Amino acid sequence: MKILFLLLALVSVSCTGKKDTGLKELRLSLSAEISTIDPATCYDTVCANLVANSYETLFEYEYLKRPYQLRPLLAEEMPSFENGGKKVTIKIKKDIKYHPQSFLAPDRAVTAQDFVNAIKRQAFTPTMGKGWWMFEGKIKGLDQWREKVGSDLNAFMTTPVEGLETPDNWTLVLHLTQPFPQLQFSFAMTFTSPIPEEAFKHLNNDLGLVMVGTGPFILKDYNQNQQAIFEKNKDYRTSLYPTQGDRYANEQGLLLDAGKSLPLVDRVSMVVMKEQQTSWLNFMADKIDMLTISKDYYQAALGPDGKLKKELSSKNIELHVAPTLIYWWLSFNMKDPIIGKNRLLRQAIAYGVDVEKFIKLFTSNTGQKANSIYPPGVPGYNPSAELPYKYDLAKAKELLAKAGYPPGKSVPEITFDVRGNSTLQRQIAEFVVQELRNIGIPAKASLNSFPVFLERSRRGEMQFWHGGWVVDYPDAENILQLLISQNAPPGPNYNNYSNTKVDQLFDKIKVAEEGPEKHKMMEDLEAEINHDLPWIMLYYTRSYELTQERVKNFRYSDIVFNNIKYLKISDKK
């Protein structure tokens, strides 16, 4: 209670400041301590809420369009590709100024070299950059530079990288080892935010306490365990509110501020509230403006129909439901001598699992039943797609007989692995095991700690398990890499799935331009995968967000973290 009182008091102080000054203040809660404010090492949603709204990147995602699309932010235009896609040229906007810092010259502007610095920081071992996986093996000479420079900061600054060039202050050229158009997505991630050499020289490559950004908000107060306070960058001229959106954006009135200068609020306060109860009580007391509903609070917020309860809607609280880029399936080991070598057996299991009941039991009906191996938001996802299986016990038993196990002939016992040993994971295991038993397949559950589960996945030794994926960037390549022969364990193809036709289509898809031709190849590849059935698709996770009535222009996304600049606080109460 003491902690709750202190947090309530802290937010109340912030709100009092807002009322006294008339500033438009957005009040947010953070679900955990802030891990870092260094863009090179920020890779969780809590720190991203800070970093992405003060730092900027070459590209950003269209805020009001789905599927997701990139657009220029600090870049003048989208990248150009030459030499079969292995030479990438990016033109940079002129006169983009950094926030004032004592170690920067007044009006210090972004240059192409600052982006080279950011990439080198990812490769520089002492930085422990979270985005190194996007660059490893892809830029000429970068891996060798990493080995040569080691932990020598002076060598970092004086040693060039073969594949990184800056012909002038506003042109960045990358020479790749092979075509990889998905690299452009890395330039929408904050770990590629430009960093002036003066910053890491003055700070000895430690940007954990100082933000050297160009974005719409300037950090004014920061305590890793308590709060972060931002104020509007009055000199911000980089972007305007979008003038176009998709059907949903138009229907929800999200284009009323089209063309306006950003940001639309004056101040942002973010307070650490580790307990969901603390956030819930603060939101219900109108002390914070937005809240993500956790599973524990679904029943408090939502009725049996999934709609907002009357006691919340009567306060003009608004509910926003949207699919995320997190989704789940059941996985088969395709090298397993029993389950991996018998497609009819896998089909029988696919028809024998009641996915809708799974969603009801384990997501409180908040999950969106999957209809494709691609999730919503990824270009090429087809909302009308259908999976070639559905819950049908009679069909499951028929397929089991065709698989070589008619009534009276037992199937060897199947082991189902889950991702942890919590009560929820135990319940999932019990459910799937029982579903298999219902169609005549003996089964047992295997519980693991999550680290053990990951290690066993990397060794490719599980038989049948609960799989899932968080999409790193909205491109089919990021998903299909999980099912490519060359990525077999210890790579991310934990299924040990191998299909020459899939591999060949993947090689074409990963370098294809976005459009109908690529989407047709995605469809053909999905048909091949569904035929082989390495996955039984379950559901797409959906986000449930609450906002106070005065918050306008909100649209959920789990990859658009620089969304605060679009939000508006209405004068209406």
Residue-level pLDDT at 273: 95
The values of phi and psi at residue 222, to 5°, are -150, 130
Quote the CA–CA distance of 119 and 127 in Å, as a whole number. Answer: 11
CB atoms within 10 A of CB 514: 16
- For residue 354, pLDDT over 70 is answered with yes
In CATH terms, 323-542 corresponds, of 3.40.50.10680, 3.40.50.261, 3.40.50.150, 3.10.105.10, to: 3.10.105.10
| Residue that the structure tokens 């920067």 belong to | 104
User: Tens digits of per-residue pLDDT, 37-66?
Assistant: 999 999 899 999 999 999 999 999 999 999
- Against a cut of 0.85, is the pTM above it? yes
User: Tens digits of per-residue pLDDT, 274-320?
Assistant: 999 999 999 999 999 999 998 889 989 998 888 899 999 999 999 99
Residue-level pLDDT at 10: 41
Domain with CATH 3.40.190.10 in the chain: 2-264+554-569
The values of phi and psi at residue 21, to 5°, are -95, -20
Question: Does residue 153 come out as left (phi exceeding 0), alpha (psi in the -120 to 50 range) or beta?
Answer: alpha
Is residue 20 classed as helix, strand or coil in its secondary structure?
Answer: helix
- For residue 20, pLDDT over 80 is answered with no
Residue-level pLDDT at 321: 95
Is residue 23 classed as helix, strand or coil in its secondary structure?
Answer: coil
- For residue 17, pLDDT over 90 is answered with no
- Please give the distance of CA 38 from its chain centroid, rounded to a whole number: 18
- For residue 456, pLDDT over 60 is answered with yes
Of 553, 546, 556, give the one whose Cα is nearest residue 568.
553
Quote the CA–CA distance of 522 and 532 in Å, as a whole number. Answer: 15
Which residues, listed in sequence order, are joined to residue 291 by a DSSP beta bridge?
546
CB atoms within 10 A of CB 80: 11
User: Tens digits of per-residue pLDDT, 511-525?
Assistant: 999 999 999 999 999
Share of the chain above pLDDT 90, in %: 91
Q: How far is CA 50 from CA 72, 229, 292, 460, 543, in A?
A: 21, 9, 17, 37, 20
Quote the CA–CA distance of 326 and 510 in Å, as a whole number. Answer: 21
Domain with CATH 3.10.105.10 in the chain: 323-542
Residue-level pLDDT at 184: 95
**Topology classification of domain 2-264+554-569:** D-Maltodextrin-Binding Protein; domain 2 (3.40.190)
Residue-level pLDDT at 571: 80
Residue-level pLDDT at 4: 35
When mean pLDDT is compared across 57-61, 116-120, 453-457, the lowest value belongs to: 453-457
Q: What mean pLDDT comes out for the span 397-401?
A: 97
Q: What mean pLDDT comes out for the span 22-41?
A: 94
Of 68, 131, 135, 66, give the one whose Cα is nearest residue 474.
68
Of 10, 37, 53, 18, give the one whose Cα is nearest residue 218.
53
Quote the CA–CA distance of 277 and 336 in Å, as a whole number. Answer: 45
Taking the alpha carbons at both ends of the chain, their separation in whole angstroms is 29
Quote the CA–CA distance of 308 and 295 in Å, as a whole number. Answer: 14
* pLDDT bracket for residue 15 (50, 70, 90): very low
> For the packed helices 423-438 and 355-363, what is the interaxial angle rounded to 10 degrees?
160
- For residue 5, pLDDT over 90 is answered with no
* pLDDT bracket for residue 327 (50, 70, 90): very high
- For residue 2, pLDDT over 50 is answered with no
Q: What mean pLDDT comes out for the span 255-260?
A: 98
Residues ≥6 apart with Cβ < 8 Å to 392: 351
* pLDDT bracket for residue 573 (50, 70, 90): low
Which residues, listed in sequence order, are joined to residue 124 by a DSSP beta bridge?
none
Residue-level pLDDT at 65: 97
User: Tens digits of per-residue pLDDT, 369-390?
Assistant: 999 999 999 999 999 999 999 9
- For residue 22, pLDDT over 80 is answered with no
Q: How far is CA 190 from CA 20, 41, 187, 252, in A?
A: 34, 9, 8, 29
When mean pLDDT is compared across 17-31, 130-144, 152-166, 479-493, the lowest value belongs to: 17-31
Strands (E) located in 280-376: 290-292, 318-332, 368-369
User: Tens digits of per-residue pLDDT, 184-235?
Assistant: 999 999 999 999 999 989 999 999 999 999 999 999 999 999 999 999 999 9
